[in-house]
């Protein structure tokens, strides 16, 4: 299992990519993970599709729906991940219910077997994450903490024991591309650094190389989800080339090339 910290090994910055498992099929997801890790993604978030993704904007909502209507389920996602070669750390992005209902022990045991080193759970805020963190720990799986522009005084509490990386939500609202990110990211990162030395990566609303360059210059990395999912939505099973081009371009921007 490749651990999260190896994502920052190159130059201290990480380019983190997201895709929804099973959109449009698990075979495509397996191939797209390969393309991402070969073209400059430093860490890959694999989304477990959920029927009711309350933190997602329209692009990822639609991807979840496509994946679920294609018959994807948690077991088949694990099977797919067990079968691929991993060159960068892989983490899950999942709402809590699919993990809870699968059974924490059963879920994290399979994560370990499949080489998934962490999980981001958007609907398990600090106060509710104790249970799942305790369950993940014996398997060596990191539960990533999230900070939002509204966190303010909560930062101290949320980041005190953060592991892996801290997911800084760039803006109010749901996932999806934004023209401008108005939050003073530098200031929030500064506040987090008073509490934690864990790397901070910025996600929500980053659509391309320019924003990724800006955000990662203010933090330790940039996370891109919706912009990638949109490429997959547009090209379906034939997104290899456009993905390759997009990932290399953004990776170069994040790593200052």
Partner 1 sequence: MADRKGRFGDFGGQYVPETLMSALEELETAYKKYSRDAQFRAELKGLLEDYAGRPSRLYYAKKLSEYAGGAKIYLKREDLNHTGSHKINNALGQALLAKKMGKSRLIAETGAGQHGVATATAAALLGLECEVFMGEEDTIRQALNVYRMKLLGAKVTAVKTGTRTLKDAVNECMREWSCRIADTHYCLGSVMGPHPFPTMVRDFQAIISKEARAQILRKEGRLPRAVVACVGGGSNAIGSFYNFIGDEGVRLIGCEAAGKGVESFETAATIATGKLGVFHGMKSLFCQNEYGQIASVYSISAGLDYPGIGPEHAHLNAVGRAEYVPVTDEQAVEAFGLLSRTEGIIPAIESAHAVYYAVKVAAQYSAEDNIIVCLSGRGDKDVAAIARYKGENIYD
Binder of partner 1 out of 27, 38, 69, 97 (CB under 8 A): 97
Neighbours of 123 (CB within 10 A): 14
216 near 254, Cβ under 8 Å? yes
d(CA 33, CA 132): 26
> Which 54-73 residues touch partner 1, going by CB under 8 A?
54-55, 57, 61, 65, 68, 73
Question: Is position 5 an interface residue for partner 1 (rule: CB under 8 A)?
Answer: no
Closer CB to partner 1, 41 or 155, in the complex: 155
Question: Is position 147 an interface residue for partner 1 (rule: CB under 8 A)?
Answer: yes
Q: How far is CA 115 from CA 110, 112, 140, 158, 172, in A?
A: 8, 5, 11, 26, 32
Closer CB to partner 1, 102 or 165, in the complex: 102
d(CA 103, CA 19): 24
CB of 171 to partner 1, least distance (A): 9
Question: Is position 125 an interface residue for partner 1 (rule: CB under 8 A)?
Answer: yes
Closer CB to partner 1, 72 or 117, in the complex: 72
d(CA 194, CA 132): 26
Size of the site for partner 1 (CB under 8 A): 40
| Region from 26-34, 108-116, 144-152, 185-193 binding partner 1, contact rule CB under 8 A | 144-152
Binder of partner 1 out of 152, 210, 234, 241 (CB under 8 A): 152
> Which 160-179 residues touch partner 1, going by CB under 8 A?
169, 172-174
Query: In sequence order, what are the beta bridge partners of 142?
Result: 118
Q: Which residue has the tokens 């401008």?
A: 180
38 near 243, Cβ under 8 Å? no
Q: What are phi and psi of 35, to 5 degrees?
A: -60, -40
- Binding stretches for partner 1 (CB under 8 A): 50-55, 57, 61, 65, 68, 73-75, 96-102, 122-128, 146-152, 154, 158, 169, 172-174
């Amino acid at each position: 299992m490749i651990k999260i910290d190896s994502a920052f090994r190159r130059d201290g910055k990480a380019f983190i990519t997201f895709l929804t498992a099973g959109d449009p099929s698990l075979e495509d997801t397996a191939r797209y993970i390969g393309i991402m890790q070969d073209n400059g993604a430093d860490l890959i978030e694999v989304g477990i599709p959920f029927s009711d993704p309350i933190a997602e904007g329209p692009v990822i909502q639609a991807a979840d729906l496509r994946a679920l209507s294609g018959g994807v389920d948690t077991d088949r996602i694990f099977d797919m991940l067990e079968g691929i070669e991993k060159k960068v750390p892989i983490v899950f992005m999942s709402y809590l219910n699919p993990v809870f209902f699968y059974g924490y022990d059963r879920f994290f045991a399979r994560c370990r077997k499949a080489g998934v080193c962490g999980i981001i759970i958007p609907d398990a805020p600090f106060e509710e994450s104790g249970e799942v963190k305790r369950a993940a720990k014996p398997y060596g799986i990191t539960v990533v903490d999230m900070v939002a522009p509204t966190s303010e005084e909560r930062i101290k509490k949320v980041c005190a024991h953060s592991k892996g990386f801290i997911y800084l939500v760039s803006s109010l609202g749901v996932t999806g591309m934004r023209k401008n990110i108005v939050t003073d990211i530098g200031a929030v990162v500064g506040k987090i650094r008073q509490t934690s030395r864990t790397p901070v990566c910025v996600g929500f609303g980053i659509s391309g190389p320019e924003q990724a360059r800006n955000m990662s210059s203010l933090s330790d990395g940039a996370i891109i989800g919706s912009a990638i999912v949109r490429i997959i939505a547009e090209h379906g099973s034939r997104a290899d080339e456009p993905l390759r081009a997009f990932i290399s371009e953004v990776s170069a921007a994040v790593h200052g090339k």
